[in-house]
């Protein structure tokens, strides 16, 4: 399976590391590739949109023509996993907790509303153990760095995990939006969950 | 055409052969010293704590969170700004963060005098207008400017040689803070000393406010070169290197094994064009800081966007050419030849 990791800005090496780790644990053949131009998307079975600054990733992707290309592929069913900034890019509606409406470019393919910096600034960034029933009973260490939250879900979108009454993980037809950073914990369960969706 | 990295080993090592957990575990050991300091008094509420196996209540400001923050700045550009208007331009152009200053380095050079941290009200206004992280600079060794910035909620603190140092001998003990710090370095020893003090991110110093990238190139090549040298050393030689640098030998071993600094490393000092930024990335930087280069030019909007594009797409000379075509050399900031600066005018030598 060829997995494209959007590699314009942010934690893309960390996802690459997690996919290699997962391949080692499961014996699955996973070929992670970095995606920087529209042509890099050729033949990918899924994409991962890493954490970073969603404005930066959006602005650069738009200039390179990657945003439109990716939006078309995702709309026609290509599985995707977005963490933190990636989740904001997947959302149809994005607001900021302090600033309000943002004019940033989006992929807008998931029926969710994301509020950026929902839990506060870097000083308020935190770790907490999350209950995610879909991946089993063992708690998952969520690393929230200036993290967003999923404040509204509609359509076929399902909530996978919540914290303090808001959703922090959601799924819709093979698309996964995570407000936290599974790639910083070394725990491959969420990457494995995503890859199982891709294999189907 | 795709440009191969300057140092193939660095590129491969970026995949974090040992994993992020190992790095964090290592920093827990360094943090033991900070725990002791905390017992001694004033800073009761600060300092990294050891985590229990299971957390129900969110644990704030943990090491993973402090060291994780710069990871999400990688491949991005942090731009120096002096007001909300410039911050807005930076954000729209795709800056990964902004650094709030009272004066741009170029103006600090011109005006002289003591340079201090920026106006708290201006920093707060910027925090209220942009969604991207906001950083601010403190003077080397100025614990209280740092405490003030932490209390108003700045996302990262730059303990910077661009401002006038208040302590000629000591840097801030950064383990005492929950907000991550970035520090400047000109060589590997300096970088590792700052990491030992708790810096979550390093930037090469360069010579700020000159619009001349030569010093930044020199510092990046020195650091990468010294790491390459470490890799070829015997364990005994590494032990001696650790003593020379004045840092724990575990940190030297870790750096050798990774083939790069164990924290995120940005380039800074004199970056003025998209090609400058791409050059620093090619030399092994994880991202760039741009100081006077953008808002001392005559085309800040276009230049900001072009530098962001070139930093993300440094692998690809065609895109960097496109970025370079977005700006005009005639509008670039007027550069200063470093050889014409008097020794006492150099900023990079502050705080070894």
Place of tokens 């302590």: B167
B103 is in an annotated binding site: no
Instruction: Using alpha carbons, select from A21, A2, A32 the residue that is nearest to residue A184.
Output: A21
Q: How confident is the model at residue B29 (pLDDT cuts 50, 70, 90)?
A: low
> Is the model's pLDDT at B19 over the cut of 70?
no
DSSP A143-177: EESS--EEEEE-TT-EEEEEETTEEEEEEETTEEE
The model's pTM is 0.89
Chain-chain contact of B71 with A129 (C-beta, under 8 angstroms): no
Q: Which of B20, B128, B156 sits opposite A184 (nearest CB)?
A: B20
> Is the model's pLDDT at B50 over the cut of 50?
no
Chain-chain contact of B179 with A123 (C-beta, under 8 angstroms): yes
By the CB < 8 Å criterion, does B325 face chain A?
A: no
Q: How many domains does chain A have?
A: 1
Across the range B316-331, mean pLDDT stands at 93
Architecture of the domain defined by B63-345 = Alpha-Beta Barrel (3.20)
Q: What's chain B look like in SS3? A: CCCCCCCHHHHHHCCCCCHHHHHHHHHHHHHHHHHHHHHCCCCCCCCCCCCCCCCCCCEECCHHHHHHHHHCCCCCEEEEECCHHHHHHHHHHCCCEEEECCCCHHHHHHHCCCCCCCCHHHHHHHHHHCCCCEEEEEECCCHHHHHHHHHHCCCEEEEECCCCCCCCCCCCCHHHCCCCEEEEECCHHHHHHHHHCCCCEEEECCCCCCCCCHHHHHHHHHHHHHHHHHHCCCHHHHHHHHHHHCCCHHHHHHHHHHCCCCCEEEECCCCCCHHHHHHHHHCCCCEEEECHHHHCCCCHHHHHHHHHHHHHCCCCHHHHHHHHHCCCHHHCCCCCCHHHCCHHHCCCCCCC
Among chain B residues, the shortest Cα distance to A14 is held by: B15
Catalytic residue status for A191:
no
Other residues' Cβ atoms within 10 Å of the Cβ of residue A20: 13
By the CB < 8 Å criterion, does B144 face chain A?
A: no
Instruction: Using alpha carbons, select from B307, B271, B305, B274 the residue that is nearest to residue B290.
Output: B271
A82 is in an annotated binding site: no
A57 or B61, higher pLDDT: A57
Q: Which chain A residues contact residue B54 at CB under 8 A? A: 129, 139
Residue A186, sorted as left (phi over 0), alpha (psi -120 to 50) or beta, turns out to be left
Which CATH number characterizes residue A52's domain? Answer: 3.40.50.880
How would you class B40 by CB atoms within 10 Å of its CB: exposed for 0-12, middle for 13-18, buried for 19 or more?
exposed
- Per-domain boundaries in chain B: 63-345
Q: How far is B344 from chain A (nearest CA, A)?
A: 36
Instruction: Using alpha carbons, select from B96, B195, B157 the residue that is nearest to residue A55.
Output: B96
A116 is in an annotated binding site: yes
Interface test with B, best of A7, A35, A100, A122 (most B CBs within 10 A): A122
Chain-chain contact of A17 with B65 (C-beta, under 8 angstroms): no
A131 is in an annotated binding site: no
pLDDT value, residue A125: 93
Please give chain A's pLDDT, 200 residues, in tens. 999 999 999 999 889 888 988 999 999 999 999 999 999 999 999 999 999 999 999 999 999 999 999 999 999 999 999 999 999 999 999 999 888 888 899 999 999 999 999 999 999 999 899 999 999 988 998 999 999 999 999 999 999 999 989 999 999 999 999 999 998 887 899 999 999 999 86
- The model's pLDDT over A79-91, given as tens digits with 9 standing for 90+, comes to 999 999 999 999 9
pLDDT value, residue B339: 74
Options B66, B74, B103, B137, the catalytic residue: B137
Among chain A residues, the shortest Cα distance to B16 is held by: A17
Containing domain of residue A35, as a range?
Answer: 2-199
A146 is in an annotated binding site: yes
Q: Which of A14, A103, A122 sits opposite B155 (nearest CB)?
A: A122
Distance from C-alpha of A167 to C-alpha of A151, rounded to nearest angstrom: 6
Q: How far is B79 from chain A (nearest CA, A)?
A: 13
Q: How far is B276 from chain A (nearest CA, A)?
A: 18
- Mean pLDDT rounded to a whole number for chain B: 85
């Amino acid at each position: 399976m060829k997995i494209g990791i959007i590699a314009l800005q942010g934690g893309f090496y960390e996802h690459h590391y997690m996919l290699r780790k997962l391949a080692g644990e499961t014996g699955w053949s996973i070929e992670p590739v970095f995606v920087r131009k529209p042509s890099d998307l050729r033949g990918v079975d899924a994409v991962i949109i890493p954490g970073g600054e969603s404005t930066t990733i959006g602005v650069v992707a738009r200039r390179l023509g990657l945003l439109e290309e990716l939006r078309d592929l995702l709309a026609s069913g290509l599985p995707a996993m977005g963490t933190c900034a990636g989740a904001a890019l997947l959302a149809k509606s994005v607001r900021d907790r302090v600033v309000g409406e943002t004019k940033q470019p989006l992929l807008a393919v998931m029926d969710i509303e994301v509020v950026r910096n929902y839990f506060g600034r870097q000083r308020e960034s935190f770790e907490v153990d999350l209950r995610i029933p879909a991946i089993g009973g063992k708690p998952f260490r969520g690393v929230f760095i200036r993290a967003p939250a999923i404040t509204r879900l509609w359509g076929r979108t399902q909530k996978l995990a919540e914290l303090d009454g808001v959703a922090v993980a959601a799924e819709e037809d093979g698309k996964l939006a995570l407000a936290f950073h599974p790639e910083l914990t070394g725990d491959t369960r969420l990457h494995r969950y995503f890859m199982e969706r891709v294999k189907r | 055409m795709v440009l191969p990295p300057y140092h193939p080993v660095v590129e491969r090592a970026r995949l974090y052969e040992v994993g992020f957990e190992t790095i964090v575990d290592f920093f827990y050991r360094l943090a033991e010293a900070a725990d002791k300091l905390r017992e001694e008094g004033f800073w009761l509420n600060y300092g990294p704590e050891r985590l229990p196996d299971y957390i129900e209540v969110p644990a704030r400001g943990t090491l993973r969170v402090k060291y994780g923050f710069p990871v999400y700045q990688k491949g991005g550009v942090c731009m120096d700004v002096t007001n909300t208007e410039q911050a807005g331009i930076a954000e729209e152009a795709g800056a990964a963060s902004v650094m709030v200053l009272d004066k741009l380095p170029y103006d600090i050079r011109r005006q002289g005098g003591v340079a201090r941290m920026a106006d708290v009200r201006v920093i707060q206004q910027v925090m209220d207008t942009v969604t991207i992280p906001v950083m601010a600079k403190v003077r080397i060794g100025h614990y209280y400017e740092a405490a003030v910035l932490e209390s108003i909620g700045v996302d990262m603190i730059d303990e910077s040689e661009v401002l006038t140092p208040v302590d000629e001998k000591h840097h801030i003990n950064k383990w005492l803070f929950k907000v991550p710090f970035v520090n400047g370095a000109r060589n590997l020893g300096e970088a590792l000393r700052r990491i030992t003090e708790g810096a979550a991110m390093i930037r090469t110093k360069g010579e700020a406010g000159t619009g001349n990238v030569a010093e930044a190139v020199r510092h990046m090549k020195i650091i990468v070169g010294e790491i390459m040298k470490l890799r070829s050393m015997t364990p005994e030689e590494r032990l001696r290197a650790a003593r020379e640098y004045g840092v724990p030998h575990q940190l030297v071993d870790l750096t050798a094994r990774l083939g790069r600094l164990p924290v995120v490393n940005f380039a800074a000092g004199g970056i003025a064009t998209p090609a400058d930024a791409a050059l620093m990335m090619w030399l092994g930087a994880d991202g760039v800081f741009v100081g006077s280069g953008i808002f001392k030019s005559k085309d800040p909007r276009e230049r900001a966007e072009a530098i962001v594009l070139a930093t993300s797409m440094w692998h690809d000379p065609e895109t960097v050419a496109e970025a370079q075509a977005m700006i005009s050399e005639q509008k670039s900031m007027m550069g200063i030849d470093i050889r014409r600066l008097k020794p006492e005018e150099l900023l990079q030598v502050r705080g070894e």
